[in-house]
Structure 1
Amino acid sequence: MISAEQNELMTRVGRDTPGGKLLRRYWQPVALTDELEGPRPVRPVRLLGQDFVLFRDEAGKLGFLDRDCPHRGADLAFGRLEDGGLRCPFHGWLFSVEGKCLDMPAEPAGSKLCSRIRQASYPVVEKSGIVFAYIGEGEPPAFPDFDCFVAPATHTFAFKGLLECNWLQALEVGIDPAHASYLHRFFEDEDTAESYGKQFRGASADSDMPITKVLREYGRPEIRVEPTDYGMRLTALRRLSEERTHVRVTNLWFPQAFVIPMSAEMTISQWHVPVDDTSCYWYAIFTSFTEPVDKAQMREQRLELYELPDYTSRRNKRNNYGYDVGEQASQTYTGMGHDINVHDQWAIESQGPIQDRTREHLGTSDKGIIAYRRLLVDAIERNLAGEAVPMAICAEDAGKFHGPASIDGIGSASEADEYWQREDRRRREQSSWAAPGQAA
């Protein structure tokens, strides 16, 4: 049973909260690279309850600054990109990507004030179509050599979506293998040849059996949870017969991402990034082991649901997520359409802005969630004590992290672990970029 105090500890993300202090130890996704295209590459960003401005200067360098001008607090997200920086429209104060004040045109000639002013700036880097920022103290950690960062740009695609709830309940869906048999159940299977870019719509590896059929007909998985150096591995086994078992391997990448299979050829690495205590973005990197990603098709598919500029879902609590009673009776378990992102959004937003975990009753199938909460609380306490925390790694250690293996396939019932390891190795050997034998 989770106490109210423990729930607060895990969910609150402000600058002075224990949970917020931990999350500030890590790189956080803050924008898609696509969002900085066009004539004015400036974006307001709200992250962990703080307000920032992200911009690309005239030389193409990225800057991530506090959003309020240090003069009189005007909003720098409306600033002008000119003269080598971002200029506040209020009085013309100009700031470089490093936060250095470059100009104060309204001040008297010879004034030394400009040299004494510096806007808070933060490290920022682009990785696989996502802009990451670090707003913590000290040196940021290194990025692990995981597949989503090692794969060439041709084989990755990035996207995001807004969720109106706390980040933790959004993350916990991804470490709950049991829910897919119900929340994402379809009563009819589509042609798997039309499944590109759609999760749970293809066939499991080593078979022509649609994943939708596996989930629909085998709803009582055996779930195994193993600690790893990057977080934990979850293996869900659905026994199809005496000889064959469906094996799905997913991963929790501490502190707030998971790596899951999208299809036999593609994985998803997905972060859950707090905007504040009661809203968050999911950011995902789709990584292909075979052919280059059709970025245009995948973006078009997702823009059918998500509306720019804030990547808000067109199906949401204000229109009951598109719920249709007729559809629920004959097509989908939820009656909320065929996009599983809508199903997840309903499930986690319906728990409330911050789920009251004092009222929940967890079962055996929730063992991944239980294990993660223990890991999270332990890391929060370690961080407060000034001790090392998981995945706050140095550059020398980054190359020790590979994969992680994320598989959805059908293998021998007596060799589940051997099967997913063998399948991961085979996929890497056939890939043009993935190093064989390097799955964590």
Structure 2
Amino acid sequence: MEGLVAMMSAAQNDLITRIGPGAPAGTLLRHYWQPAALAVELEGDRPIRPVKLLGQDFVLFRDENGKLGMLDRDCPHRGADLAFGRLEDGGLRCPFHGWLFDVAGTCLETPAEPAGSRLCERIRQASYPVVERSGIIFAYLGKGEPPAFPELDCFIAPDSHVFAFKGLIDCNWLQALEVGIDPAHASFLHRFFEDGEQDEAYGRQFRATSADSDMPMTRVLREFPCPEIRVETTDYGLQLIALRQIDDASTHVRVTNVLFPQAFVIPLSGEMTITQWHVPIDDTSCYWYAIFTSFTGPMNKEQMRAQRLELYTLPDYRPRVGRFNDYGFDPYEQHNRTYTGMGEDINVHDQWAIESQGPIQDRTREHLGQTDKGIVAYRRLLVAAIEQATNGLTPKMVLDPAQAAQIQGPSTMDGVGPSGEWEPYWRAVDQERRTSAPWAPKRKTA
């Protein structure tokens, strides 16, 4: 891959980025469960939310009995907006003429019709399977039965040990995802000139001390900016290993994963991992959804949420800083404290990097190098899966229950081990963390 230069055409770029109904990448993504909302968004007196997902408009709600439903947003009578509906009488009622729909899209009543009318028996609103997992409500927009959920750590850990959040990004989903497939960028984009106090590291990316070391990740990234990157294809997608040799005796090992088609799994600290999806709203905007999983004690959800609400506003989880205010850029800070001059939260750094590429990155202008080998490998998987999906074949990670039971973990790592034995070192550390987790004492390394 030495000197690899992008040769992508505009048509190829469209192929892998456009996700609307009928678009090839959209056809692929409709084979999978997609995060549609945080469960907390349906709490309160009115558990109804408009949702835009993969370029389509829906209404998501929880009925009076606690059942989840997601329907097309336009009422099948005359197209009024069901996101303004009323929860009553076992379903969601359109305020225009009172038509009532249950979570399955069945029309229960058309009350303004004459007595004896059987119109409602012929009406059905399009509905979509929805399920709540680890604080996220997932929806399935595809045809036929939805796939089984893989037995990932974030899905098998109890509610006490997971925390979910999300944030809005103003660009195409693919460039947002690809920042997580790039192990080299963190040494620059997320560089801090000083190391923070460890008692302030909880819940913050790249601030904790690496395993088996008193060296904080901030120092590792700052002093060793040229990692050796290894990429392996796995049953679930890709595993990426970034090696930063500290000295002849010790090497920093960071293991991350691409969970096909649109998520990655990375270490937050020695005790937590992050499983993060990048979910298209439409072609030029997306949400990131993340599940933080603790392998030790219960999650401090109040602290985690408070940290993140410092940067996002409700109800739409819009960032408080962004293109509209130059991402909080401060030249003095850039000279003295952080490489970007954009504050200490890495989500802001990532947001600048990917949004500055434009609404949809023009990949015909790219010049890729060795550090991009993970991105190249992912794009090959993506193109192959798009071809399978458009040809009626089953793409990667569309799982039946037996297959889903085999997709576990996946393992992550952030630690300093012996240079000559880094691979058995990181696997042993991961296995110890996994077997000592209170919720998964017998899980095997993935």
Report the TM range for the smaller structure's normalisation: over 0.9
Which has the larger displacement, 3-12 or 415-424?
415-424
- Give the superposition deviation at 1:387: 1.7
- Secondary structure, aligned partner of 2:409: coil
**Are residue 149 (structure 1) and residue 182 (structure 2) matched?**
no
Partner of 2:41: 35
Residue 437 of structure 1 deviates from its aligned partner by 5.2
Per-residue deviation, 1:420: 1.4
Selected match of 2:255 from 249, 270, 277: 249
Residue 412 of structure 1 corresponds to which residue in structure 2? 418
Cα deviation digits, residues 349-394 of structure 1 (max 9, x gap): 0000000000010000000000000000000001111222110000
Per-residue Cα deviation, 1:278-297 (whole angstroms, up to 9, x for no partner): 00000000000001000000
From 97, 106, 113, the counterpart of 2:112: 106
In 2: Cα distance, 1:28 partner to 1:361 partner: 32
1:372 match: 378
Kindly provide the amino acid, as one letter, of the partner of residue 150 in structure 1: I
Q: Quick one: percent identity of the two aligned structures? A: 70
Q: Provide the TM-score with structure 1 as the length reference.
A: 0.99
- Give the 5 Å matches for 1:272-421: 272-421=278-427
By how many angstroms is 1:436 displaced? Answer: 4.0
Once residues 420 and 231 of structure 1 are traced to their aligned partners in structure 2, the CA distance between those partners, rounded to angstroms, is 20
Gaps of 5+ in 2: 1-6
CA offsets, 1:259-305, max 9 Å, x none? 00000000000000000000000000000000100000000000000
Which of 178, 182, 189 is residue 188 of structure 2 equivalent to? 182
For residues 421 and 38 of structure 1, the distance between their equivalents in structure 2, rounded to whole angstroms, comes to 44
AA aligned to 1:360 is: E
Which whole-Å CA distance do the structure 2 matches of 1:242 and 1:437 have between them?
A: 34
Instruction: Map Cα deviations across residues 21-68 of structure 1 (whole Å, 9 max, x no partner).
Output: 000000000000000000000000000000000000000000000000
Paired position in structure 2 for 1:59: 65
Query: Match for 1:169: what amino acid?
Result: Q
Q: Which amino acid aligns with 1:21?
A: T
In the TM superposition, residue 434 of structure 1 has moved relative to its aligned partner by 2.1
Q: Displaced runs of 4+ in structure 1, greater than 6 A?
A: none
Q: Which AA in structure 2 matches 1:114?
A: C
Q: Distance in 2 between matches of 1:117 and 1:205?
A: 59
Which residue of the partner structure matches residue 48 of structure 1?
A: 54
TM-score (ref. length: structure 2): 0.98
Cα shift at 1:308: 0.4
Structure 1 segments unaligned to the other structure (5+ residues): none
How far is the alpha carbon of 1:8 from its aligned partner?
A: 0.3
d(CA) in 2 for partners of 1:170, 1:243: 36
Cα distance in 2, alignment partners of residues 208 and 109 from structure 1: 77
Separation in structure 1 between the aligned mates of residue 246 and residue 385 of structure 2, nearest angstrom: 38
Corresponding residue SS for 1:379:
helix
Deviation of 1:193 after TM superposition, in Å, equals 2.2
**Of 203, 214, 219, which residue of structure 2 is paired with 1:213?**
219
Q: Does the alignment pair 1:165 with 2:171?
A: yes
What's the CA shift for 1:438? 1.5
Q: Check conservation: 1:425, 1:436, Cα contact below 8 A.
A: no
User: How many residues are matched?
Assistant: 440
What is the one-letter code of the residue matched to 1:409? G
Aligned AA (2:328): G
Secondary structure of the equivalent of 1:373?
helix
Q: Is the 8 A contact 1:161 1:282 kept in 2?
A: yes
Aligned counterparts of 2:18 and 2:257: Cα–Cα separation in 1: 24
User: What is the aligned partner in structure 2 of residue 129 from structure 1?
Assistant: 135
The separation in 2 between residues aligned to 1:230 and 1:46, in whole angstroms, is: 27
- Please state whether the residue corresponding to 2:316 is helix, strand or coil: coil
Give distance in 1, aligned partners of 2:65 and 2:394. Answer: 38
8 Å contact kept, 1:2–1:358: yes
The residue type equivalent to 1:134 in the other structure is: Y
2:277 equivalent to 1:271 = yes
